A and B are shown apart, each in its own frame.
Chain A
Amino acid sequence: MLHYSIEVPCLLESLRIAAPFTDAVLYELPEIEDRDRLIHDLRLVSSEALTNALRHGESGANIRLAYTLYSDSIVIVITDHGVGFDLDAVNPPDFEECPEGGYGIHIMKTIMDDMRYEKTADGNNLVLTKSWKKP
């Protein structure tokens, strides 16, 4: 098991710090089938989750981005200190209307095997899990 985490200020500009960190962590994924595709998907999910947290997190507080890599899965946890939201109440985007926003949760749910949101005393955790066949 490998664990990596970073804390960034709750500013959109933190994407400049978090993106290369994410790329470096995902480089550690084992040699599995469709590895490049998986890395791309996980970069996308990380960007969606972190951007949401940076937009809605409590200004002045930090956002924590953590990755735990196992031989057959990855768990991504994004922790923020905003008011939080009800993941189950988020509707999919209206694909006929083609809105400008509202695709992030849809993308994350489509790509990941499991997605849950929990409010704890230490902040709100968005927990995303993706599994693959062991190499």
Chain B
Amino acid sequence: MFIDVKQESGTTVITLSGRFDALMAKEFKNCISGLIENRQIMIAIDMSAIDFIDSSGLGSLVGGLKGVAREKGEIRIAGLSPEVRTIFELTRLHRIFDIYENIEIALASFN
């Protein structure tokens, strides 16, 4: 599992890879808390290298979305594989996220 954070034209890009389970969820929550503290709250998440997500991973995304929204920020996610998208739909969480085909389109949507 891997979490990379960089800035691109005023937007924070988080790249996740590997298994998005309870272990990555813990790190992801810490990552989002740090970004909120630094007011880096316009966030695009590239999930194209995530091959597996469970409800712990999803829950941390929901927590991040709500935490960032409280500060008037936004989270947009991109690059869901068909398997990962299935889990979003199974839990009906696809309705609360702005989901883009890839990170380039997600980033462009902020402008």
Seen from chain A, the residues whose Cβ lies within 8 Å of a Cβ on chain B are: 12-13, 15-16, 19, 40, 43-44, 47-48, 51, 54-55, 93, 95, 98-101, 103-104, 106-107, 110
Contact = CB atoms under 8 A, between A and B. Distances in A.
Interface of B: 19, 21-23, 26, 52, 54-56, 58-60, 62-63, 66, 83, 86-87, 90-93, 95-96
B56 A51 contact: yes
A107 B91 contact: yes
Nearest to A43: B52
Contacts of B22: 12, 15, 51, 54-55
B87 A44 contact: yes
Contact of B62 (A16, A54, A98): A98
B85 to A, nearest CB: 12
* Interface class of chain A by DSSP: helix
A13 B22 CA distance: 9
B21 A99 contact: no
A100 B59 CA distance: 4
20 contacts: A12-B23, A13-B23, A15-B22, A15-B23, A16-B23, A19-B21, A43-B52, A44-B52, A44-B54, A44-B87, A47-B54, A51-B21, A51-B56, A98-B62, A98-B92, A98-B93, A98-B96, A99-B62, A106-B90, A106-B91
Contacts of A13: 23
B55 A48 contact: yes
Contacts of B55: 48, 101, 103-104, 107
